[in-house]
Structure 1
Amino acid sequence: MPRKPALPSDSLIPGSPRRRTALKTGGTLLLSVVAPALVPLPAGAAQIMAVRVWPADEYTRVTLENDSVLKATHFMVADPPRMVVDIEGLALNETLKSLVAKVESNDPYIKHVRVGQNRPNVVRLVFDLKETVRPQVFTAPPVAGYRNRLIFDLYPLHPVDPLTTMIAQEKWSQAEVAAATPLPPAQPGTPTVGQVAPAPVAKLEADAARAGTTPAQPLPTTPTLPSPTLQAQVQAQAQAQAKALPGGSKVTRMITIALDPGHGGEDPGATGATGAHEKDIVLEIAKRLKGKLESLPNMRVMLTRDADFFVPLGQRVEKARKVQADLFVSIHADAFIQPSARGSSVFVLSEKGASSSAARWLATDQNKADLIGGVNFGSHDKELASVLFDLSTTAQISDSLKLGKAVLSEIGGINRLHKGSVEQAGFAVLKAPDIPSILVETAFISNPEEEARLRDDAYQNQLADAITKGIKRYFAYNPPLAKSRTA
């Protein structure tokens, strides 16, 4: 923790003599209103270029974008809870003052913020809090159009847990909660948890060959729902698995799907010609998809983010593992330097390099999300990152390819495909070692025609329908195995 500085006569701290004097005279304005006239500022002082606030249940982020690297110290004050930040070498300007109005009444953690010139060459921020928080204060270097950033992440003392959230939404039975344990890394060469051997996919490919198509294209002759024969096989398999459990206990088998709307918060993703941000469009599509999937029997969905805030790549994967997801679907809207590029794509992880130069370029671009979004690498869990990024398995990639083919075949029915097969590259967000994972590029937001479609409610519904049908098709040919949970 930074060393707590001595408190000078400070009108920004409740109870200080100067604040009492100001109140006695009836003044209610903050010192920030008059400080510039009272305190001469040195030439060449840093300037705040922009201020942003990103409130969310998981944490609230405050960002100060500035023209140079800032040095800040902070300390906490209790009863009532406050966080005090002193920033050196900073000129108090109108942009910084506007931070006061940026804090909304529904912010989970910040009640309001006060800004003032604490002493020559030092600006003080006081965050009046709704509860005690666990702050992280760090800087981010210039990247992707951003200047230097000073970032304040205010986390609750008890972090929001995705499993707890799903329990609160009554999507897990108490028996499942009691039986839930972290998933161990999958062993190379074995099917991943919740998946069966890959035999049914051969039938899918054979059906496609007889129809004169490929699995990555629409398959009108292949039913979306399983045939009665296949349904009987799935039911028989489930019954056999139930008998195999100790004591013949009853199996509770809900399918859990993690949906990952890309980007968010400080990371807008790609931006279309009319100003549409990828982060907003993919969140809307994910919410529509969530509703459609949860309307199916025995299906529940976890969103890695449900609002406009940034989630680091590793945390997206870890959230899916915490709820023991059966599938992970990351949703994006592609962009390219040429506006003529168009079409939908589906990507899975690759162990041996990208399947094309375009796939490699896209993966490299998407993997910059942590730099653009702003991650406190000083507190980054390197051990967790090693587990997530080094233990990907052949079985996970094999299952992911099956899922990708099923989803791409359905998307091909509503939009042109950028490439008629599932592509592979080293996407960091797909590196859960034990969950079949795909990344869906819904369309090119950099293409004006496709941007207009992506902004259309009807088309977003079509995309959600297509991905839902693809997931149903995947489970029709790859029914989930029973997990070690009892009800």
Structure 2
Amino acid sequence: MLWSKRHCRAILCVGTVVAALSIPVTSVAAPATRRNLVKRIRFWTAPDHTRVVCDMSSESRYSIKTYSNPPKIAINIPGGRFARGVKGLVVNDGVIERIRINRLRSGAQIVLDLKKPVEFRDFALKPYKGRPHRIVIDVEKVLSSAEVQDAKKKASAVARSGDYIVIIDPGHGGSDPGAISRNGLREKDVVLRLAHLVADKIDKYRGFRAVLTRKGDYNVSLQRRIDIARSYGGDCFISLHMNSHYNKSARGSEVYYLSLKGATDKNAQAVAEKENLFLEMGDEGTKFNDDIKEIIYDLSRSNSMYKSSLLAAEIASSLKRSR
């Protein structure tokens, strides 16, 4: 869909549970009655945070305690234990120095040794598309005032350049792989490569400039994707996804744009349900922003909807010609 500089506003916002390291806090997920096994520990480094994911054998009861000297976050899993092969990890990304594991009498403990006191959020995810129960910790990266100002200046310079700004949004990323083929091909990897190719093509046209919402394999919240589009003054927002299907003979492409009529047919309803499920399972605590009514009202009064339909038709036609 098309986003004018006036209408490119935040639609969704991420509800977070944030805690300062200077005060010990406790957070508990849904209770579980059986012994929890920590099957794997993973992490991803994004420009603004580091995500740590603990894959669990079952729904987990856990608590979190923070320390300021030295700064660290301890995740305690009562009655938990570590699967064979689970080890600590060296991170050293400027946010987390390392991830340690402790086998305690009371259960399993995972400790994040931090570079400095920071804020974080934690949440639990249920099984989804082959992924197990998970405990997720997002640790915020603290940027210096110089880094913040530099990022703002860069975005502002692009917004004021007079170029037509195309926001390319490769879906998923990090702990969210998206669709996975039988041979292990992951949607997040394919759309990222495609996004770079599309951006390179766009940048070759005079008066056009592409901006990616993510440039690597890391999580980007829906709110953050919208914030990026707004900060760079995006005129057009294109999100890239790859769908999977049980039918091996399934081929082709689909192009969607915002419709004020809502999801009335089966295909549109399926897309809406998939997105809603993603909001619940893959992007914790996401809820509609209070500005959505104003955005819809503005869009209905403008020709953005009409332009979006024209762009969608042109993209679909171009894809058909390239087969």
Q: TM-score, normalised by structure 1?
A: 0.54
| Number of the residue aligned with 2:280 | 371
Shift in CA distance, 275/389, structure 1 to aligned 2, threshold 3 Å = farther
| Number of the residue aligned with 1:221 | none
Q: Tell me if the contact between 1:162 and 1:323 (Cα under 8 Å) persists in the aligned partners.
A: no
In the alignment, structure 1 residue 126 sits paired with structure 2 residue 116:
no
Say which structure, 1 or 2, has more relative contact order (CA 8 Å, 6+ apart): 2
| 1:258 CA displacement | 0.9
- 2:157 aligns with one of 153, 173, 191: 173
How many angstroms apart in 1 are the aligned matches of 2:148 and 2:322? 33
Q: Tell me if the contact between 1:265 and 1:373 (Cα under 8 Å) persists in the aligned partners.
A: no
Count of matched residue pairs: 292
In the alignment, structure 1 residue 360 sits paired with structure 2 residue 265:
no
Q: Tell me if the contact between 2:170 and 2:241 (Cα under 8 Å) persists in the aligned partners.
A: yes
Q: Tell me if the contact between 2:63 and 2:76 (Cα under 8 Å) persists in the aligned partners.
A: yes
| Number of the residue aligned with 1:50 | 40
| Number of the residue aligned with 1:256 | 165
What are the superposed Cα offsets for residues 47-79 of structure 1, whole Å, 9 maximum, x if unpaired? 123322122222111111213332333333335
Q: Tell me if the contact between 2:121 and 2:138 (Cα under 8 Å) persists in the aligned partners.
A: yes
How many angstroms apart in 2 are the aligned matches of 1:312 and 1:373? 9
| 1:278 CA displacement | 0.9
| 1:285 CA displacement | 0.5
Amino acid at match of 1:116: N
| Number of the residue aligned with 2:100 | 114
Q: Tell me if the contact between 1:313 and 1:369 (Cα under 8 Å) persists in the aligned partners.
A: no
How many angstroms apart in 1 are the aligned matches of 2:172 and 2:159? 35
Say which one has the larger Rg: 1
- 2:304 aligns with one of 396, 399, 416: 396
The 5 A counterparts of 1:183-194 are none
Identity, % of aligned positions: 26
Amino acid at match of 2:111: V
In the alignment, structure 1 residue 387 sits paired with structure 2 residue 281:
no
| 1:268 CA displacement | 1.4
- 1:78 aligns with one of 43, 56, 68: 68
| Number of the residue aligned with 1:4 | 24
Considering only aligned residues, what root-mean-square deviation do their CA atoms show, in Å?
Answer: 3.2
How many angstroms apart in 2 are the aligned matches of 1:146 and 1:159? 36
| 1:343 CA displacement | 0.8
| 1:275 CA displacement | 1.5
| Number of the residue aligned with 1:154 | 139
Q: Tell me if the contact between 1:132 and 1:156 (Cα under 8 Å) persists in the aligned partners.
A: no
Secondary structure in 1 matching 2:182: coil
Secondary structure in 1 matching 2:256: strand
How many angstroms apart in 1 are the aligned matches of 2:40 and 2:248? 29
| Number of the residue aligned with 1:409 | 317
Shift in CA distance, 83/136, structure 1 to aligned 2, threshold 3 Å = same
How many angstroms apart in 2 are the aligned matches of 1:389 and 1:66? 39
Q: Tell me if the contact between 2:169 and 2:212 (Cα under 8 Å) persists in the aligned partners.
A: yes
Q: Tell me if the contact between 1:58 and 1:159 (Cα under 8 Å) persists in the aligned partners.
A: no
Q: Tell me if the contact between 1:58 and 1:155 (Cα under 8 Å) persists in the aligned partners.
A: yes
| 1:263 CA displacement | 1.3
The 5 A counterparts of 1:221-240 are none
Secondary structure in 2 matching 1:114: strand
Q: Tell me if the contact between 1:350 and 1:397 (Cα under 8 Å) persists in the aligned partners.
A: yes
Secondary structure in 2 matching 1:346: coil
Secondary structure in 2 matching 1:136: strand
Q: Tell me if the contact between 2:64 and 2:74 (Cα under 8 Å) persists in the aligned partners.
A: yes
| Number of the residue aligned with 2:83 | 93
Q: Tell me if the contact between 2:156 and 2:232 (Cα under 8 Å) persists in the aligned partners.
A: no
Amino acid at match of 1:400: S
How many angstroms apart in 2 are the aligned matches of 1:368 and 1:53? 23
Structure with a larger share of its residues in helix: 1
| 1:374 CA displacement | 4.1
Q: Tell me if the contact between 1:63 and 1:150 (Cα under 8 Å) persists in the aligned partners.
A: yes
| 1:163 CA displacement | 9.2
Shift in CA distance, 152/175, structure 1 to aligned 2, threshold 3 Å = closer
| 1:291 CA displacement | 1.8
| 1:355 CA displacement | 6.5
- 2:214 aligns with one of 292, 298, 305: 305
| 1:81 CA displacement | 3.0
> Mind listing any 5+ residue stretches in structure 1 that lack a counterpart?
6-42, 177-251, 416-487
Q: Tell me if the contact between 1:268 and 1:278 (Cα under 8 Å) persists in the aligned partners.
A: yes
| Number of the residue aligned with 2:13 | none
